[in-house]
Structure 1
């Protein structure tokens, strides 16, 4: 099933001068989940309702990486939009989305790097609007650059997350434990917006993806009766 991130990936591949080769790409990968075929995740893709929407601004080759978790967000949250980020060009559809009156946009970024008057820690909606969470899908150094060099985001409130838990993501780790992968950030945003079911499903889906991906990498068996797989069974 095609979604915003898979379409962006196809567009980015079409522009590539040379093929993108991910680490460990000798074995064929499923085009639907980017995991080695024998550990395919597609049967575990959940369906859940959410009032929130996601807008992913993705740095250069981020859509091409099989470890990218923005793909998981698009799998779970129906209203997910994805755009490639460029310092000099802005997709014309992005300002249209941000100015759509049905949405209340929040740019998600650590408040310690932002003027205090822009920072909020709660999701408050007015006039029946729905939350639109803008996530910078990149490494931490890339995300800081994106935040500084995207003036069309300067008028938006900055949602600063202050989670107590340590990141569980094991595929690509930051040097700081308070840096989260994109899917973890999305799940925390959903929880703040009281999209509790969607938050729990995305968390479980991230865990299932991680177990399948690492299982394929290390040739480990998959326990389809563990807590995360069991959680998803009600949403298949």
Structure 2
């Protein structure tokens, strides 16, 4: 696994100073509140897109934890009946996320950040998450996340999933600026490894 280097890094985006992404991170508002629960193994990963989403969206919080047992504040957040809370996690018979719901409450969206195996572990270890109504995203085409292996070509990075979900819930708002630092990060990594090396490891890109 690629981890953050020992080079001096930006304390905000956690990227090396000469590859700081802060100039491209927006400052967006949303009506929807987002909670990203990140598996601890992802925290120091160099290609951490959950952090970028949390930095660019005011109503987004990043929680790095495996179990919610000792997180009373976030348990209360998830159980708050004043909000319609949904877990974005695909599965058989899981309905697609939609803006059209017969519920006047504001919405909260929970994303699980990690490999598919780690995300499933987060769900398995936390009965509270299992109790939440689940929603899934429609197939949105090929991910721009060209540096990490995924179960399928349609698998999205956390930031891509968050942007698509918010765009479906609030279609009147343009959330695409959230993807700018993500795209810069990917391009920077490809340039650093060199095109020949990149194509050798990712022949179908």
Which of the five TM-score ranges fits, normalised by the shorter chain? 0.7 to 0.9
Match of 1:151 among 119, 123, 127: 127
Task: Quote the residue 2:58 is aligned against.
Answer: 78
Shifted more, 37-46 versus 194-203: the winner is: 194-203
Match of 1:67 among 47, 51, 57: 47
User: By how many angstroms is 1:107 displaced?
Assistant: 0.4
Match of 2:95 among 120, 125, 139: 120
Question: Does the 8 Å contact 1:52/1:195 carry over to 2?
Answer: no
For residues 26-78 of structure 1, the C-alpha deviation after alignment (integer angstroms, 9 at most, x for no partner) is 43222222222222211222122211121111112322222111101111111
Task: Quote the residue 2:144 is aligned against.
Answer: 168
Question: Does the 8 Å contact 1:107/1:153 carry over to 2?
Answer: yes
Structure 2 residues not aligned, in runs of 5+: 196-205
Secondary structure at 2:77 match in 1:
helix
Task: Quote the residue 1:224 is aligned against.
Answer: none
Question: Is structure 2 residue 86 aligned with structure 1 residue 106?
Answer: yes
Change in Cα spacing, 1:148 to 1:26, as seen in structure 2 (3 Å) is closer
TM-score by length of 1: 0.72
Secondary structure at 1:105 match in 2:
strand
- Structure-1 separation of matches of 2:137 and 2:68: 29
For residues 99-132 of structure 1, the C-alpha deviation after alignment (integer angstroms, 9 at most, x for no partner) is 22442111011122xxx3xx32124455542221
Task: Quote the residue 2:7 is aligned against.
Answer: 27
Q: CA RMSD in A?
A: 2.5
Change in Cα spacing, 1:88 to 1:104, as seen in structure 2 (3 Å) is closer
TM-score by length of 2: 0.81
Change in Cα spacing, 1:214 to 1:92, as seen in structure 2 (3 Å) is farther
User: By how many angstroms is 1:198 displaced?
Assistant: 4.5
Secondary structure at 1:72 match in 2:
helix
Question: Does the 8 Å contact 1:103/1:131 carry over to 2?
Answer: yes
Secondary structure at 2:110 match in 1:
strand
